[in-house]
């Protein structure tokens, strides 16, 4: 990933992402990242205020999954960009632990409430939640392509991360021997998603007109 390209963190499905999450300006300004995290935590606490029982549990699980997915997305960025091996080792541990806890919480959502909509899509998300952030066309196309490949509904596909990229050819660097790839700079996204207990990586152009799955 190019250093000057802003990271868009999208953690969860249609319209969410962990949001188009600390964009390029936040990356250049650490104080902005800090403030964004403080704001997110404040919003989470506000959502829980005065809630008890199942109402508390539903909101807690939804917001905590989002929080964990943000940690996974940031750790993924650390794996690609960190200088020190200690940071990369920590990032690997975070990804492993947080993804396991995310899976547990989603299982509880399904078991106790019969739905994971607030995790997998913007439907039913609390007002003002980061679940309601827009998703770029290319990222949405990748999600749709995976859902069609697996023959499942789109809201069953969870977008973990979506990083803006630039490739030196029209095949996103994944051209096969039989493919004809134009030697042109192609901007787009590398999207990591989860569905049916597995992780998938897709690459797409900005408009989502061409989508390729990692082989």
Q: Across residues 91-110, what is the average pLDDT?
A: 85
pLDDT at 146 over 90: yes
Q: 18-69, pLDDT tens digit by residue? A: 333 333 333 333 333 444 455 555 666 777 888 889 889 988 888 888 888 8
- Longest Cα–Cα distance of the chain, Å, equals 61
pLDDT at 5 over 60: no
* Model pLDDT, residue 122: 39
* Model pLDDT, residue 46: 76
For the question of whether the overall pTM of this predicted structure is more than 0.85, the answer is no
Candidates 132, 144, 123; CA nearest to 193 is 144
Q: 76-97, pLDDT tens digit by residue? A: 888 888 899 999 999 888 888 8
The answer to whether 170 and 184 are in contact (CB under 8 A) is: yes
* Model pLDDT, residue 90: 92
Spans of all domains in the chain: 24-213
Q: 167-209, pLDDT tens digit by residue? A: 999 999 988 788 888 999 999 998 888 888 888 899 999 999 9
Element housing 104 (H / E): helix 85-113
The answer to whether 24 and 6 are in contact (CB under 8 A) is: yes
């Amino acid at each position: 990933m190019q250093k000057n390209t802003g990271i868009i963190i999208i953690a969860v499905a249609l319209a969410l992402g962990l949001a188009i999450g600390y964009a390029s300006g936040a990356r250049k300004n650490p104080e902005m990242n800090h403030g964004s995290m403080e704001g997110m935590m404040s919003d989470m606490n506000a959502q829980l205020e005065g809630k008890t029982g199942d109402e508390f549990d539903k909101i807690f699980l939804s917001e905590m999954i989002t929080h964990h997915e943000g940690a996974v997305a940031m750790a993924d960025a650390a794996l690609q960009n960190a200088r020190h091996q200690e940071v990369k080792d920590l990032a690997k541990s975070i990804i492993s632990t947080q993804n396991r806890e995310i899976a547990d919480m989603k299982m509880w959502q399904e078991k106790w409430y019969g739905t994971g909509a607030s995790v997998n899509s913007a439907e039913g998300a609390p007002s003002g939640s980061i679940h309601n952030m827009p998703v770029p066309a290319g990222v949405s196309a990748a999600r749709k392509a995976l859902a069609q490949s697996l023959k499942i509904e789109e809201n069953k596909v969870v977008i973990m991360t979506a990083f803006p990229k630039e490739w030196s050819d029209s095949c996103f660097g994944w051209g096969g021997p039989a493919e004809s790839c134009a030697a042109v700079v192609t901007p787009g996204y590398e999207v990591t998603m989860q569905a049916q207990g597995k992780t998938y990586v897709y690459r797409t152009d900005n408009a989502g007109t061409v989508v390729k799955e990692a082989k």
